[in-house]
């Protein structure tokens, strides 16, 4: 081992000032936080110069400095790094709408099966099993959402939105309705909805909420016209409120010839109970990381499949997978036993939006998760997601202005600053909720515990909320105190970002970066 034991240790000192037993690790060595691998043992490796390189001389080198470390040193390095941050494997992560869930390890095992490692250019005849998984996933998602056809290509929910809006645009164009230039979006919607509509070339019409936090039908009536291409909605909405007038809303939108888009971020509240297709939605995306516990992709590489009703299916991205030659039945029929799967291009396709069928290994995890849970398990997941949100809300001291809600609730930080509340919650060993959005609740603390947490974890979360609710602004502004990195200067971080590596020193109490 190369580590110097006397210099290397967790410098927390063992005190638990806030009495909650939480201290994030601060692994230091020579006063510096866990060094980079390249700052540990170095060895020079000759790479030789006799290779005829097409690169200019100043860009070639004849030796390379590489870290020389044993496997335990490597494992410990990454374990320490993982202890200096907060993740879903560290504790609860109640990010409303953005929905962080534990990623079950069995889906990792399935994705690691040798048979999952197929080359995407293989002849479809030779990868029938792979195509079957994709076709069955399309079928599962279609049945869960009440949609007739599904593409698996988009690499994230936001990318799915863009594809969905492009499909809607192609549909209107095809019907000689290309003049429709407006997309209506409730003001409480996720920022990606607005970005999607704008990127799709549409003018955004922002829709105010009514006093109960739902779509204001009069405002919707006023906004709808023959210029309306689509209304984008999530249901339950970002306040966790079910849009009870959804069938009326769908009728109103369809009456003017518009389409209804479902943002699937909150689908975990409805699994096995209600389907967007049955409510009148025409096109939707699925955030498989929010609903089916696949890893988040940071905007990709994840998966954000898109489902559509029959009329829109010809416009989906190409290629898609379908079953042929079976007992005469096509996709969408779970009882079919097709003998063959093939790729095909939908008749009026908008084209290809991602390589091959999208992020296959993420899709495999979603498939495994859905198959393992089955109808009963998925219905149970939505029950627990809603129960957990309602239990947690009943335990927190902060005011929750809107309800009754489903899988998430939005509390108000009141006199406190929501961002300070969030920083302080980290000191209690829990991740804070989503803050300051939606803006219709001042000091929004948008909280979604998800179905994965036990009652005792929910109690830990409630205790953290309530401890922070009772603290003064001085304490909140000094937070976080017990994390590896302290509060950063967010303005400087945005205005003057340092984009190359600087050692983070452990000696300074505020965890400032060395210059
Ligand atoms: C997360 C989210 C999105 C975007 O989805 P990504 O998969 O993160 O790209 C869109 N709408 C809502 C309501 C969301 O919460």
Any atom of ligand 1 within 6 Å of the Cβ of 156: yes
| Of the candidate ranges 84-98, 411-425, 473-487, 489-503, the one whose mean pLDDT is the lowest | 489-503
Q: What is the CATH number of the domain that holds 174?
A: 3.40.640.10
Q: Is the pLDDT score of 512 beyond 90?
A: no
Residues 293, 392, single domain; the answer is: no
3-state secondary structure of 370: helix
For 470, other C-beta atoms within 10 Å of its C-beta total 8
Same domain? 284 vs 388: no
Cα–Cα distance measured from residue 57 to residue 54, given in angstroms and rounded to the nearest whole number: 9
C-beta neighbour count of 298 within 10 angstroms: 8
Same domain, 304 and 193: yes
Q: Mean pLDDT of all residues in the chain?
A: 89
**Tokens 């504790």 sit on residue:** 91
- Place 181 in a pLDDT band, splitting at 50, 70 and 90: very high
**pLDDT tens for residues 64-119?**
878 888 899 999 999 999 999 998 989 999 999 999 999 999 999 999 999 899 99
Confidence grade of residue 513 (pLDDT, cut at 50, 70, 90): very low
158 Cβ below 6 A of ligand 1: yes
Q: Select from 29, 53, 180, 15 the least CA-distant residue to 507.
A: 29
The alpha carbon of 189 and the centre of ligand 1 are apart by a number of angstroms equal to 10
Beta bridge partners of 285: 263, 306
CB of residue 299 inside a 6 A radius of ligand 1: yes
What Cα–Cα distance (Å) separates residue 84 from each residue in 124, 323, 499? 45, 48, 20
pLDDT band for position 14 (50/70/90)?
Answer: very low
More confident site: 63 or 81: 81
Domain assignment present for 486: no
Among the listed residues 380, 387, 425, the one whose alpha carbon sits nearest the alpha carbon of residue 408:
387
Residues 40 and 132 in one domain: no
How far is 356 from 121, CA to CA, in rounded Å? 8
Percent of the chain whose pLDDT exceeds 70 = 89
Is there a single domain that holds both residue 351 and residue 458? Answer: no
Q: Is the CB of 107 under 6 A from ligand 1?
A: no
Is residue 23 situated within a structural domain? no
300 domain residue, yes or no = yes
pLDDT of res. 333:
55
Most confident of 49-53, 55-59, 202-206: 202-206
Exposed, middle or buried by CB within 10 Å (0-12, 13-18, 19+), for 345? middle
* Confidence category of residue 328, pLDDT binned at 50, 70, 90: very low
Determine if ligand 1 sits within 6 Å of the CB of residue 404.
Answer: no
Residue 288 and residue 291: Cα distance in Å, rounded? 5
Highest mean pLDDT among 60-69, 149-158, 489-498: 149-158
Model pLDDT, residue 3: 39
Q: Of 436, 329, 378, nearest to 95 (Cα)? A: 436
213 and 124 share a domain? yes
> Does 50 score more than 70 pLDDT?
no
Q: How many CB atoms lie within 10 A of CB 290?
A: 26
Task: Please report, rounded to a whole number, the percentage of residues in the chain having pLDDT higher than 90.
Answer: 73
**Would the pLDDT of 145 be above 60?**
yes
> CA 138, CA 220: separation in Å to the nearest integer?
33
pLDDT value at 381 more than 70:
yes
With a cut of 80, say whether residue 254 has pLDDT above it: yes
* Pair 160, 305: CB distance under 8 Å: yes
Same domain, 382 and 313: no
User: Which of 158, 195, 289, 292 has the most ligand 1 atoms within 8 A of CB, as the residue to mutate?
Assistant: 158
**Ligand 1 pocket, residue 192 CB under 6 Å:** yes
In terms of Cα–Cα distance, which of 13, 36, 24 is closest to 84? 24
Instruction: For tokens 């909605």, name the residue.
Output: 233
Same domain, 191 and 74: no
**Greater confidence, 487 or 145?**
145
Confidence of residue 510 (pLDDT cuts 50, 70, 90): very low
| Ligand 1 atom closest to the CA of 299, numbered from 1 | 9
Is 430 inside any structural domain?
yes
- Distances in whole angstroms, Cα of residue 450 to Cα of each of 34, 210, 274, 466: 33, 27, 18, 20
pLDDT, greater one: 338 or 328 = 338
Between 247 and 326, where is the model more confident?
247
Whether residue 323 sits in one domain with residue 232: yes
Please tell me whether residues 187 and 294 are part of one structural domain: yes
Within-domain flag for 12: no
Instruction: Report how many domains make up the chain.
Output: 3
Q: How far is the CA of 437 from the centre of ligand 1 (A)?
A: 13
Regarding whether 268 and 221 lie in a shared domain, the answer is yes
Give me the pLDDT at residue 63, please.
79
Instruction: Say if 325 falls within a structural domain.
Output: yes
pTM here is 0.88
Cα 291 to Cα 267: distance, rounded to the nearest angstrom: 6
The answer for 65, left when phi > 0, alpha when psi is -120 to 50, beta otherwise, is beta
pLDDT on residue 498: 83
Confidence tier at 503 by pLDDT (50, 70, 90): low
Contacts of 424 (CB under 8 A, 6+ apart): 468, 471, 475, 476, 479, 480
Q: Is 157 in the pocket of ligand 1 (CB under 6 A)?
A: yes
Give me ligand 1 centre to Cα 379, in Å.
Answer: 22
- Identify whether the C-beta of residue 236 lies closer than 8 Å to the C-beta of residue 448: no
**Same-domain status, 166 and 285:** yes
Stretch 331-359: mean pLDDT = 84
Residue 481 covered by a domain: no
Burial of 495 (0-12, 13-18, 19+ CB in 10 A): exposed
Q: What is the CATH number of the domain that holds 419?
A: 3.90.1150.10
At residue 59 the predicted structure's pLDDT band, cuts being 50, 70 and 90, is confident
Q: Is the CB of 407 under 6 A from ligand 1?
A: no
pLDDT(7) > 50: no
Give all strands of the β-sheet with 409-412 in edge-to-edge order.
409-412, 444-447, 434-435
Give Dmax over CA atoms of the chain in angstroms.
76
Q: Give the domain range for residue 176.
A: 118-329+337-358
Q: Is residue 129 part of a domain?
A: yes
53 class by beta-carbon count within 10 Å (0-12 exposed, 13-18 middle, 19+ buried): exposed
pLDDT, tens digit, for every residue of 291-327?
Answer: 999 988 766 689 999 999 999 999 999 999 999 866 5
């Amino acid at each position: 081992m190369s580590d110097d034991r006397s210099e290397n240790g967790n410098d927390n000192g063992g005190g638990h000032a806030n009495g909650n037993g939480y201290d994030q690790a601060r692994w230091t060595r020579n006063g510096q936080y866990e060094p980079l691998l390249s700052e540990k043992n170095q060895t020079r490796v000759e790479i030789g110069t006799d290779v005829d390189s097409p690169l200019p001389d100043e860009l070639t080198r004849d030796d390379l400095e590489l870290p020389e470390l044993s496997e335990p040193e490597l494992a410990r390095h990454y374990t320490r790094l993982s202890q200096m941050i907060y993740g879903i494997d560290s504790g609860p992560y109640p990010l409303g709408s953005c929905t962080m869930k534990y990623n079950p390890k069995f889906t990792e095992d399935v994705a690691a099966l040798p048979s999952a490692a197929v080359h995407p250019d293989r002849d479809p005849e030779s990868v029938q099993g792979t195509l079957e998984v994709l076709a069955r996933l399309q079928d599962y998602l279609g049945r869960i959402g009440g949609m007739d056809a599904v593409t698996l290509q988009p690499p994230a929910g936001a990318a799915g939105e863009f594809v969905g809006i492009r499909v809607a645009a192609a549909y209107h164009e095809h019907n000689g309705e290309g003049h429709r230039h407006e997309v209506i979006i409730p003001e409480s919607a996720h920022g990606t909805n607005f970005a999607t509509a704008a990127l799709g070339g549409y003018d955004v019409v922002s829709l105010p909420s009514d006093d109960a936090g739902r779509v204001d039908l009069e405002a919707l009536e006023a906004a709808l016209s023959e210029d309306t291409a689509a209304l984008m909605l999530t249901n339950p909405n970002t306040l966790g409120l079910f849009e009870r007038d959804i069938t009326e809303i769908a009728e109103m939108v369809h009456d003017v010839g518009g389409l209804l888009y479902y943002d699937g971020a909150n689908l975990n509240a409805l699994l096995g109970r209600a389907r967007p297709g049955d409510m009148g939605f025409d096109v939707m995306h699925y955030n498989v990381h929010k609903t089916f516990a696949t890893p988040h992709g940071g905007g990709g590489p994840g998966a954000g499949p898109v489902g559509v009703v029959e009329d829109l299916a010809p416009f989906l991205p190409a290629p898609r997978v379908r079953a042929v030659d079976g007992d005469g039945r096509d996709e969408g029929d779970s009882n079919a036993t097709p003998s063959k799967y093939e790729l095909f291009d939908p008749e009026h396709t908008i084209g290809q939006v991602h390589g091959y069928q999208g992020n296959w290994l993420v899709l495999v995890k979603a498939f495994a998760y859905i198959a393992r849970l089955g109808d009963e398990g998925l219905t149970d997941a939505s029950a627990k997601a809603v129960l957990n949100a309602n239990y947690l809300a009943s335990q927190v001291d902060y005011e929750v202005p809107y309800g009754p809600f489903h899988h998430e609730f939005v509390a108000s930080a009141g006199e406190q600053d929501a961002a300070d509340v969030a920083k302080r919650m980290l000191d209690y060993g829990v991740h804070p909720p989503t803050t300051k959005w939606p803006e219709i609740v001042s000091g929004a603390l948008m909280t979604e515990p998800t179905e994965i947490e036990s009652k005792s974890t929910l109690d830990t979360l409630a205790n953290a909320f309530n401890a922070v609710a009772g603290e003064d602004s001085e304490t909140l502004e000094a937070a976080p105190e017990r994390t590896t990195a302290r509060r950063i200067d967010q303005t400087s971080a945005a205005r003057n970002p340092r984009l190359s590596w600087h050692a983070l020193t452990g000696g300074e109490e505020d965890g400032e970066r060395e210059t």
